[in-house]
Amino acid sequence: MSDRKVMLVVAGHARDAADCRQLLDMLGLALPKPRRAPGRPTVDHGHGDHRTYIKGCRCTRCREAMRVRAVEKRAAWRSAPSAADRAGHGKLSTYKNYGCRCEPCKAANTEATRAGRAARREKAALAETGGAR
Ligand SMILES: [Zn+2]
Ligand SMILES: [Zn+2]
């Protein structure tokens, strides 16, 4: 009988994994190394990891990890002005995420603030008049 066959027999008689290991120990056989499943290995980083968030988890811990990472990323972008150059100027995202304060980016932020305020004012006005004027 080959070692492999013995192992299968032992595994068939064992109550659980620990029992199986003990039986194999008694026979002087080592457990075969667990082979990796074919294909892409499942990357399980557990919860509280931005990678798990990216995989689709939206639990509190993963969201917090993602938020912290975004803060760190923004800080890194901010400390590297060339990153803002790559992102392009005159954009609100460059002003906000990269902390760029060049004229085109400041103008984009001013415009966005103005537009947001106007939209809110319009909404408030509509609510006051009940939408009919
Ligand atoms: Zn999670
Ligand atoms: Zn800029």
CA of 69 to the centre of ligand 1 (A): 15
Q: Please write the tens of the pLDDT for every residue from 5-33.
A: 777 776 777 787 888 688 778 777 765 56
Q: Please write the tens of the pLDDT for every residue from 42-86.
A: 657 899 999 999 999 999 999 999 999 999 998 988 888 888 999
If you search the block for the tokens 């008689």, which residue do you land on? 13
Cβ neighbors of 105 (< 8 A, separation 6 or more) are 84, 89, 90, 91, 92, 94, 95
The domain spans of the chain are 1-32, 46-79, 82-133
CA of 64 to the centre of ligand 1 (A): 10
For residues 103-115, b (16+ Cβ closer than 10 Å) or e, as one string? Answer: eebeebbeeeeee
pTM of the complete model = 0.48
CA of 99 to the centre of ligand 1 (A): 30
> For residues 97 and 72, is the Cβ–Cβ distance under 8 A?
no
Place 95 in a pLDDT band, splitting at 50, 70 and 90. Answer: very high
